[in-house]
Amino acid sequence: MYSQAEENYLKTIYNLESRQGSEVSTNLIASKTNTKASSVTDMLKKLSAKNLVEYKKYQGVHLTELGRKSALKVIRKHRLWESFLVQKLNFKWDEVHDIAEQLEHVKSEVLIEKLDAFLKFPKLDPHGDPIPDAHGRTILNKTVVITEMKIGSSGVFVGVRDSSSEFLQYLNKKNLALGDRIKVIDIEPFDGSYHIETRTHRLVITSSVADNLCLKNVK
């Protein structure tokens, strides 16, 4: 049984480690959690003492096998709650993250297994992220972000890297939704912005936005 703060750190480290494929720096964790680096160091020492992370000063941190399994349990609960809120309570996809942040710390595993069964064992959450099963396994959801695509290529919009309410609200304003087929029309040499096209409209997005939109079946 871990504290809410410990679970949040494990989830953050897992997400950062998965994205960059290497050890995570203290400063990066501090930036992601809006916390002082000294506070991050203190927490990493606590997690290390519980065999949840391997931490070496000035070299970064990575999850142990126990830490990885513990992080996946939190992520599983978070994504199942998001699915429940959208599917059963009719919340919008930009409204569920903060609520799920609270619900993900429920300790009852029986409740989570019943929730999974009630939802008929969903594989993806409302943002297109894979939901780990009870053993921490996820489906292979191979995607690329728009910044990895060439001019003229297109794919189906299936997920986001940034599931914050602010970013999802931005996508709503731009009339971009999961399931849209997006085509890269042009890339601006000056600022790296992307001209993209859906079946209904064209628009320009920044490279940072493009780097957060995940597509599959890219041609």
Are residues 73 and 136 in contact, defined by beta-carbon separation less than 8 angstroms? yes
First-to-last CA distance in the chain?
Answer: 46
Separation between Cα atoms, residue 31 and residue 12, nearest integer Å: 11
Is pLDDT above 90 for 206? yes
What's the pLDDT score for residue 139? Answer: 82
In a domain, 177, yes or no: yes
Residue 205 has pLDDT above 80, yes or no: yes
- Whole-angstrom Cα distance, residue 195 to residue 56? 43
The three state secondary structure string of 131-168 is CCCCCCCCCCCCCEEHHHCCCCCEEEEEEECCCCHHHH
pLDDT at residue number 9: 96
Question: For residue 76, is it within any domain?
Answer: no
Mean pLDDT over residues 174-197, rounded?
96
pLDDT, tens digit (0-9, with 9 covering 90-100), for 131-171: 999 999 988 778 999 999 999 999 999 999 988 899 999 99
Assigned domain for 161 exists: yes
Angle at 141 between CA 138 and CA 144, to 5 degrees: 145
Amino acid at 211: D
What CATH number is given to the structural domain containing 19? 1.10.10.10
Say if 77 falls within a structural domain: no
For residue range 51-73, what is the model confidence (pLDDT) as tens digits?
999 998 878 899 999 999 999 99
Rg of the chain over Cα atoms, rounded to whole angstroms, equals 19
> What's the token pair of residue 51?
């065999």
With a cut of 80, say whether residue 21 has pLDDT above it: no
Once rounded to an integer, what is the mean pLDDT over residues 37-49? 94
Give the CATH number of the domain where residue 182 resides: 2.30.30.90
pLDDT score of 76 = 97
Q: Which domain holds residue 44?
A: 4-63
pLDDT at 179: 94
Q: Quick one: average pLDDT of 191-210?
A: 96
Indicate whether 104 belongs to any domain.
Answer: no
Given this model, what pLDDT does residue 163 score? Answer: 87
> CB of 197 within 8 A of CB of 205?
no
The number of domains in the chain is 2
Does residue 98 sit within a domain?
Answer: no
- Please check whether residue 116 lies inside any domain of the structure: no
pLDDT tens digit sequence for 81-137: 999 999 999 999 999 999 999 999 999 999 999 999 999 999 999 998 899 999 999
The answer as to whether 15 is a domain residue is yes
